[in-house]
Amino acid sequence: MMKKLLHTLLASLFLSLSVSAWAIDPPEPDSYTTEQVATYQKQAEQGDRVAQYRLGWAYENGLGDLEYDPEKALDWYEKSAKQGYYKAYSQIGYLFDDCGPLATDYVKARVYYEHALKIEPNDPLANHFLGWLYTEGDGVKQDVAKGIEFLKKAAQGNYQLSTLRLGDIYRDGIHDVKVDWDEAAKWYQTDADRGHPLGQLYLAELYYNEDNPNYNPKKAFDLFLKLAEQAPADSSERIRAASYLGYIYLNGEGAEQDYKQSKKWLEIAANGDDLTAIYNLAETYRNGYGVKKDINKARKLYSQACEEGYGDSCEMHDQLKRKKAKR
């Protein structure tokens, strides 16, 4: 009888905890329609802390029929935070961070992020931005190692910005962290495995970097090609991958030289305003790589890239201009 009673009590406790946890942190809605925002407004005014947070989010982003208003967003976030909702604390921290819409106050941002983590230690947003504050020394004494630990916790929680930031830190040796190409590849691979095109792009670029002891142009080529074929047509990742493919086919580094394929991918990237691709397409026409030489077309392409700030194009454009003047 006692065992049965104990089992019933434990089952009831587990059920109450499960329901409570869901009530504390229900799934985020896919969208904020006008009708949904109106519902959140009503619920928020009745004291629902999750609705208060969502109404703040709607004001911060101008969703539904609400106008963008970070001050009203702050007001609703504060109401939610006073009731202990960790996401509201995180979002207030973000408002005061340098990427937020209010006057930057790193100390205030840090305090709110820390409050969020006291309630939910695995909150990815708070972990990510605390990681930034500690690695940069903003609003707190700089502690790069501690910052990296926060970033790792956020990355393990599937927070993409932290995953990519860790890759960048180990690739570039940011803040005197020892360059570790394998560690950088691990974090970019993690992001790529989660289906994110940017992680795939950075991983490919890593293998195409000659400073990398694991330099592997063939592997980079395969990654660029997969990305260019699978990413959305107008995405920046596809355009950048296409630019690399054009260069690889042009020079035969990572794949067999193929001027036809080079021109195809360079034109795709150039149509997406990739300046490197525009420059390499100009080189194609200037030198007649698989096409009839066309100095006028080359000059126009150099000029286009030059006007957008691509220095090498300016030099080549001026050189062709001087040659034309001598004739």
Q: Is 105 inside a domain boundary?
A: no
For the chain, count helices (H), then strands (E).
Answer: 17, 0
Does residue 270 sit within a domain? Answer: yes
pLDDT at 304 over 60: yes
Distance between CA atoms of 207 and 119, rounded to whole angstroms?
41
Q: Return d(Cα 237, Cα 164) in angstroms, integer.
A: 14
pTM recorded for the entire structure: 0.85
Question: Is residue 110 in a domain?
Answer: no
User: Reduced to 3 states, what is the DSSP secondary structure of residue 149?
Assistant: helix
Q: What is the residue-wise DSSP string for 192-234?
A: HHTT-HHHHHHHHHHHT-TTSTT--HHHHHHHHHHHHHHS-TT
327 pLDDT higher than 80: no
Given a cut of 50, is residue 92 above it in pLDDT? yes
Q: Mean pLDDT throughout 244-251?
A: 98
The H-assigned helical ranges of 252-294 are: 259-271, 275-287
What's the rounded mean pLDDT across residues 280-303?
Answer: 95
Q: What is the pLDDT of residue 9?
A: 29
pLDDT in tens, 6-28: 333 223 332 233 323 333 467 78
Mean pLDDT of 35-54: 96
- Encoding tokens for residue 101? 């819409």
Residue 211 lies in a domain: no
Helix (H, G, I), strand (E, B) or coil at 325: helix
Residues 109 and 101: beta-carbon distance below 8 Å:
no
Output the pLDDT for position 306: 92
In-domain check, residue 311: yes
Rounded Cα distance, 56 and 71, in Å: 9
Q: How far apart are CA 21 and CA 244, in angstroms?
A: 47
Phi, psi of 63, deg, nearest 5: -100, 165
CA distances from 32 to 56, 61, 130 (A): 12, 10, 28
pLDDT over 60 (residue 162): yes
C-alpha separations of 208 from 199, 267, 295 in Å: 14, 21, 31
pLDDT single digits (tens) 190-211: 999 999 999 999 999 999 999 9
Dist. CA 177–CA 174, nearest whole Å: 6
How many CA atoms are closer than 13 Å to the CA of 234, on its beta-carbon side?
A: 0
Calculate ∠ Cα 168-180-210, nearest 5°: 80
Q: How would residue 325 be classed by pLDDT, with cut points 50, 70 and 90?
A: low
In angstroms, the CA 146 to CA 295 distance is 56
Task: Give the Cα separation of 20 and 43 in Å (integer).
Answer: 18
Q: Is residue 58 part of a domain?
A: no
Instruction: Quote the mean pLDDT of the chain.
Output: 90
At residue 318, the pLDDT reads 77
In the chain, what is the greatest distance between 2 CA atoms, to the nearest angstrom?
Answer: 107
Domain contains 80: no
CB 242 within 8 Å of CB 228: yes
DSSP 8-state class, residue 235: -
Mean pLDDT of the region 114-140:
97
Tokens 């095109």 found at: 197
Q: Does 265 reside within a domain?
A: yes
Domain count, the chain: 1
Compute the radius of gyration of the chain from its Cα atoms: 26
Encoded tokens for 160: 């993409």
Give the integer Cα–Cα distance in Å for 154 and 88.
17
SS3 label, residue 300: helix
| SS3 at position 287 | helix
What is the rounded average pLDDT of the residues 169-181? 97
Structural domain harbouring 282: 216-327
Q: Which pair of structure tokens corresponds to residue 92? A: 């207030």
CATH of the domain at 296: 1.25.40.10
Across residues 302-324, what is the average pLDDT?
A: 83
pLDDT at 52 over 70: yes
pLDDT of res. 326: 56
pLDDT per residue over 210-220, tens digit each?
999 999 999 99
